[in-house]
Every structure is written in C-alpha cells, then in structure tokens.
Structure 1
Amino acid sequence: MFSHKGRTKFKARIVQHSGNKLETKSISTEQYAKDIVASLAQYPEAKIVKVSKKQKKKNPTAPFITSSLQIESSRQLGFATDRTMRIAQSLYEGVELNHESVGLITYMRTDSVQLSSLAIDEIREYIGANFDGRYLPSKPNQYTSKSKNAQEAHEGIRPTSILRTPESVKRYLNADQFKLYELIWRRTLASQFSPALLDTTAIDLALGEAVFRANGVTVNFDGFMKVYQEIIEDVINEDEEARLPELAEGEMVPVDNLDITAHQTEPKPRYTEASLVKTLEELGIGRPSTYASIIATLKKREYVVMDKKRFMPTDIGAVVSQFLTNHLTKYVDFQFTAKLEDTLDDIAIGKQNKLPVLQQFWNELDALVQEKQGASREELTSEKLDENCPTCGKPLLSKIGKYGRFIGCSGYPECKYMRKVDRDGKSEEITPPEEVPGRLCPKDEGKLLIRSGKFGKFISCANYPKCKHIENIDTPETENAVTCPECNKGKVIAKKGRFGIFYSCNNYPECKTIFKYEPVATHCPECNYALMMTHTTKTKGTQHICPKCKHTLKVE
C-alpha cells in the first residue's frame, strides 16, 4: 500500500488479512494476491491503529580517508576513483585565490581519521558561531581507524581551513573541484557535530480486513545530518531507513495505490567502483594510494567493462581469473594478500629484513612460473561442453577468439562447425559463407565469398590468407570518384571503419592511401598536391584542406 501525509510519501506491506497473520510466503499465488487487492479497493482511507517508537542515536561519520572519499565521491558525485584522485590532487597542490596559490585540502592519500587539535578547535568555533547550541557537542568527537594496517602519518582529508566555505571559493574552482571540495568540507564539518536522534518507527494501518505495516525512521533531532548524509548502495532492507511522517493513532491517511510485488531471491549485485573499494579495504587488499590504479588496470586491460556503473567481466577477464585461480592459487588468495601487507608493515617498522622476504617470495614465484610455462593456450581458452557436434559427432568446445566467445567443434580444422555466443550467453549457428555467383577473384581467380566481419558483410577471396583481396558488399560508385594521387590506378572511395566513415584507395592492399575527409579533385594552391579534402564546421564553415601541407582554403 502506498500513502502520504503532506509531502512525505511512504509505503506499507500487508501483515494480516481476515484475522490471519501473513508471513513472507503466505501469499503463494498471484491470484490470491489479486483477490486481496480487489477486496480492499473499496476503501479510500486507512486508519492508524498502532504506532511503536524506539529512539536511537546516530553518530556522525569520521573525516574522509582515501577509500571513504573515493566511495562517497562515486556514490554522491558519480566520479570514478581515478577522477576523484586527480581532482583531490589539484585541490591539495593549490588553487589561485586572490593572486596567491593556496592548498585547499590536506594530503589525500591517507588512512588516518585523526584531525589536528587546531583544526578541531576551528571547526567547533565555526559550528558555535553559525548553528544552534544543540549542534555543538560538549567535547570534541574523537575517531579511531578501523583498519589494523592504518598508517597514520597524515591527518584525515579535510579543508586546510573550515572558514574557506565552498561558496567563498566557488568562483576560483571549476565545476568538479567545487563539487569535491564541498563534499570534503561538509563531511569534515559534520564530524564535529552532535549525533542525530532518530525514532525507529513501526506503524500499523487498518484497511478493511487487512493490516499493513510501515517501518522507517522519524527524525527527532537532525544533528550532523543537517550538513551531511551518506548514501548507501545495495540496501537489503530499505524500509528500515525510509523516512516516515509524524503519525498518531486514530489518524486517517489516504490510500494512493495498492500494488502487488513478487519477492524473488536475487543474486548479489555486481560491484560498483564504490563497493569494490570498500571490499578491498575490508579484505586488506592494497593501500589507499593503490585503489584507483587497481581499478584503472582492470579497465585498461579490458578484464572488465562498465555497464550501468557496475563492473561486468569480459571473456578475457574470465580467462585470466580462471588461469590465476587454477594455476597461481596461492597468490590470489585473500589471506595471502593481507599477510603480505602485514609483512610489509613489519619491514617498514624494522621488525623484519626485506631481503630474506623478497628472496623467499621470488624463489617460490619463479619455480611456479617455470612449472606453468608449458600450459597450452587451448587449455586456457577452451572448455569442453556436454554436447556433441551435429555435423561430425565430436565433442563441442566453448572457446575465446579474437572477437569474443564462440562454440566450435573439437575436430577443427577437419570440421568447421561453429556457433557465435552473444553477451547473454545465447548461441547462434554460423552459416558457411555464401558464394558470389558469376564472379571470380580479380587477383588469383579464386571463388569470391560473402563473409560477415566486425563492421558488417564484405566480399573476400576464398583463398584467404594466401590471397587478401577484399571489397565492399555494396560496390561504391567509382565513376565520379577522385583518382588516387599516390598510385594513379585506383579510385578514392568511402569506407566504414571502427571510428566511422573514412576514404581510401580501392586498390588496397597494393595502395594503402587513406584520407580523413571526403576528397575533391582540386589541386592545392600551396604545394600542388592532386587533391584536397572538404570539411565543414560550425565555426569555420566549409573548407578545403590539403592532406599534405595542411593548407586551408575557405569555400564560399
């Protein structure tokens, strides 16, 4: 049931019907649910029959460390981790304020939540001067790091002066700098505020023969939430954090809608950048300074792609993961990484000598690498399926090729049966290339075949790779095309490539001349090159550009 009071909307779930208590799986069929909704549709209002409240205190969050800054920047601003660190670096290095370079934040690679006493005194003074006395606690809030490996050589991430409010420096910052500075400023200020006082509330609403329950919180005193609130991803029970309006027993509220929702067990959501950083921190993998580079490496090597801001593993990523898990098990174990971090900490404080540690690590790794040198590519990139080839009866294999995953026969090359596999895992049989009737390859008189490639269909010689003759499926108009100025044999025609339309000689591969823009049969007045390219922009209009000397000629 959906309802509201004033501008605050809330929802409630059914917990009782016709005197019977309803558990999670009590309504087992859709028809039963529809019958309940039909019986309650006649009631325009629900009555508040019970309000249960329990007060709890919500403490302010600690000042930012590197990981929490990356997490909150991703959640609240939508910034990637490397983008966050670049912006933070620029704020730390300094911004021109009134002809003077001023560092606006403290060092941004830290796992300490401590603030200096001078900073705390300034923050408390600012709160006392700008907010009601209730928002300033009687003594400063103190925080301790949750990480056992925390290296507290620096303060938490904070403004160098809380008196530099975001609005006062906004005109000196670009949009990204302002957003991140404001986030850091609000978090730092909130860390010295009083706790918020919340009532965890359960409200029972009677509607006909049914009782609905709404769970959530009402705010008695907003405390630190006046200036800062965290955003939580992938909340399992979002009703517990829902905001409820002030309601009293006996009060009537309108029924906006009665809705049926099927509750199904869902798999754990894929990582976002924020949740991955949080998990790395919890498992003790990496350091504040390495989280952004870890994520950047995953993307750069195409082990993952981002889909709706969540990491999706690629086929390459799956192969690498499988190889590491099967062959280098020790080195991808979470405990190994955490223990190695502890060992490095011991070396840093002088408890252990680095050379014996490095020697032992190298000897074990080198021996393992030598042992795995013989692992075949076939073993790594293919997986046997419980299915036989419909053509020859041999087992089928799931393989990874240049353009992704496909299913092929283990009898290749004698049997060329194949099926392509899309991102959803659905497969479709690859039909053999169609022969072009009445034509032979102009290079070696072999058969011409219509093939499907990365950019669509094309015609090529059946004797590939010995003969590399290819041509467009739709033969381009060459009668009015410009003659290639390099080979003086072919014509310059439009082609479709990875980055869009480009122009090249149709005498490829003998001639590999390429032009970025459409060529015109006009000699360059500067260097006398046989053609120029035509290009139109909003600012400069239509121009002829020489591909050799870059001389431009405005076209009226």
Structure 2
Amino acid sequence: MMMAQRLYEAGHITYMRTDSTNLSQDALNMVRGYISDKFGKKYLPDSANQYASKENSQEAHEAIRPSDVNVLAETLKDMEADAQKLYQLIWRQFVACQMTPAQYDSTTLTVAAGDFKLKARGRTLRFDGWTKVMPALRKGDEDRTLPLVKQGDRLSLVELTPAQHFTKPPARFSEASLVKELEKRGIGRPSTYASIISTIQDRGYVRVENRRFYAEKMGEIVTDRLEENFRDLMNYDFTAQMEDRLDQVANHQAEWKEVLNHFFGDFTTQLATAEKDPEEGGMQPNPMVLTSIDCPTCGRKMGIRTASTGVFLGCSGYALPPKERCKTTINLVPENEVLNVLEGDDAETNALRAKRRCQKCGTAMDSYLIDPKRKLHVCGNNPTCDGYEIEEGEFRIKGYDGPVVECEKCGSEMHLKMGRFGKYMACTNDECKNTRKILRNGEVAPPKEDPVPLPELPCEKSDAYFVLRDGAAGVFLAANTFPKSRETRAPLVEELYRFRDRLPEKLRYLADAPQQDPEGNKTLVRFSRKTKQQYVASEKEGKATGWSAFFIDGKWTEAKK
C-alpha cells in the first residue's frame, strides 16, 4: 500500500483505496485505442468488457489503473524498483481486462484399463488474446500436447509411475493470504487491510518469520479475554455485518442513529460486565506468576509477565510505592533461539521430542533462556496456570557464527545478546554500553556514526532542532528530542555542504554532491534499498523530478533518464 501511495502521489495511478471494478469512459477509450494501435484489431473486443463488482463494494472511485496507459514501468526512473513492479502489475491488469479472450484447443483422452478408467487432459494455445500482456498462471502439465489416437486403439503400457500423496495441514497465513481471508469474510476494506496487518504486529499479537504469521503469547491472552467478555465483537461475522449496516446508512436504507443505538446498547452492557470482578463475570486479569528467582537488584522474587514485546521476568517490587519500587526486568530468549551446548548438533531435534508438560495441568510448556546457565519452562496456559520449572545446564543463543567482533569504541569483544526487540551484539566491557544490530542476512551491522547536532536547523513541528543520523536506510535529519518529537526528513545537499566540517569523513562525499539539478531544483540525499547506496535526487514542490546522480568511482555522475 505504501508503494501504491507513492505511485498515486506521483500521478502515475488513480486512487488506490477502492474495491471498485468500474472504469470511466475516458479510461476505456484510452485503453481500447492503445490495444488497437499496439496489438491490432483482433485483440480488441467489439465493445468494452464490463465486470461485476463485489456486493457492497465502495465505488466512489474508479478501479485502480494507470493514469496514462502509454507510460510503461521501465520509464518510471524516479520510482523504487518495488514501485515499478507494482505499476507493471497494475498496467498489465488494466490492459488485459479490455482485450479479447485467449483461445485453446482442449483434448481429453479416456483409457480403459481393466476395471479402471484413466483420463489425460491437454490443451494447446490457438490464440493468445489477453495473455499477450499478462501471461496466465498454468498448472504443471496443463498445456501439454496429447498423442493422436483413434477410438478403439489399443495402447501399450510404457511406464507405471507410483505416486504417494499426503494431506497437509493448512499453511500459516502470509500477508497476501491473510488479505484474501479478510476479503472472503467481508472484514475490512482495501483502505484498511494494511493498517490491520501492521497493527497486529505493532501490538505484539503476531510475529513474522519467513513471511508467515505466528501467534504470540500476548495475542493469545488478548483474544481469550475478549472472547470471554465480548463474544459478539469477536465473532468473524460482526465486522462484515457492521460493514453492511454502514453501507445501508450510506445508501439511505437505514438511520445512522438507530444503527449506533443498537450497537452501543449491547456494547455498554458487555463493557459494564467486563469491568466487574472476575468472580462476578468480569474480565480475567493478567497476573504476574511469582518464581523462586531472586531479583538481582533488590533481592525480591521475580515474576513471569507477558507484554507486547513478549514474555519476560519482572521484579515483584514494581507494584510498591514509588520510593520502594523496583523496575528491574530480565529478558527471556525463546527456546527456538537457544542451543544446548552439551547436546551438540541434535539439540533442536531433542528439544522437539522432549517438550515438557506442566505438572499442574498437563499443558505443553514454553521454554526460555534466562542466562547461559538456566532455562525457564513456563506453562503454555500461563497466566491462568502458574506452573513453571527451572532447568540448569549450558546454553547459548543461536544466530551469529561469524568472526569475533571488536568493539569500535573500546576494543573489547562483543557477544551476541537477545533483547526485547531481537538479537544484537553487546560489548563485554561493563563500562562500555556500545551495541550493534544483527542484520536480516545474519551479519553484524557496521558501526553507527554518532549523531551530528545541527542547532542551526530548527524543526518545523516543535521547538527542537535537527541532528544528522546515519541509519540502516542512510542519513536523515531527526529531532534532537526524539522520541518526544518524531519529526524527520531527508537532508538537502546544500545543508550538508554548509556543515561539511562537522560531518564524519565517510559522509563528506555527500556534501560534495550537486546542490541543484540543471533546472535549478534543489537536491536531497536519498537511499536505494536495491543497491544499498545513497544518491541525490531533485524535487519540485515536494514531488520527484526524475533527475538523480550517483557517486561512482570517486565522483558524482548524473543518471541517464
């Protein structure tokens, strides 16, 4: 959706938050003219193809289409590679939907073998039609050519190939399959799918591994609590039914006050019940499960807690008055990130086979690493069940097996750690707090440059000033009061040139880049996710002009359009 937003803002596509399939007459005339000129009359149907919209689709806008069908994806030099691919997909769908059907010659052979009947199907393409611009997805042997035979011919057995098939459980949702499921159940709209998917990740309800969603403990707890007290709201049909009612209001088929009164009448009753004590039917709390582990700061007992960042140990003294309160926490590393050093290469297999069961309720236990000597096993029914066990041994975190990393600040070794936000390298020197990220490819991130204060550049949305930071996506300007102020923007080359003497040596080449394009438009520093390099591009009135320059062989070179 972010790429679609960029394409829309640049004027390359029409409004993208719509589920309409309608096209304006101007769009139809444009695409039919293009098909006739580029492919010929045989690819153009006698009249425009019309498509039925889904029930209750919001059709305030056209279907998503290119603003100009003559603009091809390869000409969008000002856009990222992913945006160009998305534009190509939109362009192909737009053109293909107004072309003639593809034509095939299909053949089916039925062969009698004793008491059995065997069938073979094949087809050959006779006229490509719309597949000229959008190749059709084909099954493995769908387009094979069958031999010429006549009815009654006796066939010889050349080979018998046995094949074994197993049923598989449903695959975990990917982002695409989850959107399809939301569409199937009538939940959400194209404009809300992206926010739904980002929200369940931001709140720690799910995590993404290998592009698949996995439920987290916090998500399970929230779901259980809501299903107990707000069963109607958690019903899959609720959102779809509410969408229908809102559509009825929009179509003047229902009064909005009646719809809201009906909803809030039931919701207010359920909310009042949820606020009662658990003994009276109220929502169950998410209590801390006390353990025998001592707090390293105050000596009180640590307890098992669950938050949006995962399961962790927190001091039981956190609930005390401010002067006595202890905020000490211990991060827990999930078992799938831990290797048992004593077990060697079979650690993962043995861990799966030896999954512990809670001694109190029999539920499978989730395991976490406390430190290199202790592992904590927590009942999977936590916090409803307070069962836990502590295992002693020798353990280490999986992930980084590369060369020894030296701290760039003090020269000490850096070791792999696990925090609330994932793995990172931390300096072993207690007086040095230096850390470095672990990149997605498993490598240690290069050392970060310290922020460069630029008090001469005030922020627009607060009283703060900008500092120049060097992040994973290149340099950028950010408010010095982050996170209080989250204002950021790309730096102008002329700003970097102005403060060139303050820049680290490795960033000074950016200050030497062209400050304007040939038309006099100012240039900004950008970052290419494809090449992992920084470049400069010009903008006019907040929109990219298409001009850019790259640092090649020690000098800045203007890119060819």
TM superposition score normalised by structure 1: 0.52
Q: Does 1:108 align with 2:16?
A: yes
Residue in structure 2 matched with residue 370 of structure 1 by the alignment: 272
2:425 equivalent among 496, 501, 508:
501
> Structure 2 CA distance, aligned partners of 1:89 and 1:253?
59
1:275-354 aligned within 5 A: 275-354=177-256
Residue in structure 1 matched with residue 148 of structure 2 by the alignment: 248
C-alpha deviation, 1:364, in angstroms: 2.5
> Structure 2 CA distance, aligned partners of 1:131 and 1:349?
42
Residue in structure 1 matched with residue 459 of structure 2 by the alignment: none
Secondary structure of the corresponding residue to residue 77 of structure 2? helix
Q: Deviations over 1:357-411 (max 9, x none)?
A: 33443342232123123349996779xxxxxxxxxxxxxxxx9967669xxxxxx
Q: Is the 8 A contact 2:107 2:146 kept in 1?
A: no
C-alpha deviation, 1:122, in angstroms: 1.5
C-alpha deviation, 1:258, in angstroms: 5.5
Code of the aligned partner of 1:92: Y
C-alpha deviation, 1:356, in angstroms: 4.4
Q: Is the 8 A contact 2:217 2:306 kept in 1?
A: no
C-alpha deviation, 1:182, in angstroms: 0.8
Q: Does 1:515 align with 2:437?
A: no
Q: Deviations over 1:167-222 (max 9, x none)?
A: 3x243432112111111111000011001223443345799999854335432322
1:126-205 aligned within 5 A: 126-145=34-53, 147-167=54-74, 169-203=75-109
Code of the aligned partner of 1:242: E
Q: Is the 8 A contact 2:229 2:273 kept in 1?
A: no
C-alpha deviation, 1:331, in angstroms: 0.7
Q: Deviations over 1:257-292 (max 9, x none)?
A: 864332233333333222222222222211120011
> Structure 2 CA distance, aligned partners of 1:199 and 1:304?
48
Code of the aligned partner of 1:188: F
Q: Does 1:427 align with 2:359?
A: no
1:467-546 aligned within 5 A: 494-498=414-418, 499-503=423-427, 506=430, 514-516=433-435
Q: Deviations over 1:285-343 (max 9, x none)?
A: 11120011111112222322334433332333333333333331111223322221122
Q: Is the 8 A contact 1:127 1:135 kept in 2?
A: yes
Secondary structure of the corresponding residue to residue 326 of structure 1? helix
> Structure 1 CA distance, aligned partners of 2:272 and 2:185?
30
- In the superposition, relative to structure 1, how do residues 346 and 314 fare at CA in structure 2: closer, same or farther (>3 Å)? same
Q: Is the 8 A contact 1:319 1:380 kept in 2?
A: no
Q: Is the 8 A contact 1:162 1:185 kept in 2?
A: yes
Secondary structure of the corresponding residue to residue 453 of structure 1? strand
Code of the aligned partner of 2:70: L
Q: Deviations over 1:466-497 (max 9, x none)?
A: xxxxxx999xxxxxx99x99xxxxx9875542
Residue in structure 1 matched with residue 348 of structure 2 by the alignment: none
Size of the alignment, in residue pairs?
A: 344
Code of the aligned partner of 1:214: A
Residue in structure 2 matched with residue 37 of structure 1 by the alignment: none
Residue in structure 1 matched with residue 537 of structure 2 by the alignment: none
- In the superposition, relative to structure 1, how do residues 112 and 425 fare at CA in structure 2: closer, same or farther (>3 Å)? farther
> Structure 2 CA distance, aligned partners of 1:495 and 1:271?
34
Secondary structure of the corresponding residue to residue 171 of structure 1? coil
Q: Is the 8 A contact 1:123 1:192 kept in 2?
A: yes
Q: RMSD in angstroms over aligned alpha carbons? A: 4.6
Moved more, 119-128 or 354-363: 354-363
Q: Deviations over 1:226-269 (max 9, x none)?
A: 2114659xxxxx57x82222532279999998643322333333
Secondary structure of the corresponding residue to residue 218 of structure 1? strand
> Structure 2 CA distance, aligned partners of 1:139 and 1:452?
65
Higher RCO (CA < 8 A, seq sep 6+)? 1
2:372 equivalent among 452, 456, 464:
456
TM superposition score normalised by structure 2: 0.51
> Structure 2 CA distance, aligned partners of 1:404 and 1:378?
21
> Structure 1 CA distance, aligned partners of 2:433 and 2:160?
63
Q: Is the 8 A contact 1:455 1:496 kept in 2?
A: no
Secondary structure of the corresponding residue to residue 195 of structure 1? coil
Identity over the aligned pairs, expressed in percent? 32
> Structure 2 CA distance, aligned partners of 1:216 and 1:110?
38
Secondary structure of the corresponding residue to residue 89 of structure 1? helix
- In the superposition, relative to structure 1, how do residues 161 and 492 fare at CA in structure 2: closer, same or farther (>3 Å)? closer
C-alpha deviation, 1:223, in angstroms: 1.3
Secondary structure of the corresponding residue to residue 373 of structure 2? strand
> Which sections of structure 1, spanning at least 5 residues, go unmatched?
1-84, 95-102, 233-237, 383-398, 406-419, 432-450, 460-471, 475-480, 486-490, 507-511, 518-549
Q: Deviations over 1:400-445 (max 9, x none)?
A: 967669xxxxxxxxxxxxxx987969613799xxxxxxxxxxxxxx
Q: Is the 8 A contact 1:455 1:497 kept in 2?
A: no
> Structure 2 CA distance, aligned partners of 1:553 and 1:196?
60
> Structure 2 CA distance, aligned partners of 1:473 and 1:249?
67
Q: Deviations over 1:131-180 (max 9, x none)?
A: 143211111111120x221121111011111111223x243432112111
Residue in structure 2 matched with residue 45 of structure 1 by the alignment: none
- In the superposition, relative to structure 1, how do residues 378 and 248 fare at CA in structure 2: closer, same or farther (>3 Å)? same
Residue in structure 2 matched with residue 87 of structure 1 by the alignment: 3
Secondary structure of the corresponding residue to residue 356 of structure 2? strand
Q: Is the 8 A contact 2:228 2:283 kept in 1?
A: no
> Which sections of structure 2, spanning at least 5 residues, go unmatched?
288-303, 313-333, 337-350, 360-366, 376-393, 397-405, 437-501, 507-561
Q: Deviations over 1:442-475 (max 9, x none)?
A: xxxxxxxxx983563379xxxxxxxxxxxx999x
> Structure 1 CA distance, aligned partners of 2:155 and 2:135?
29
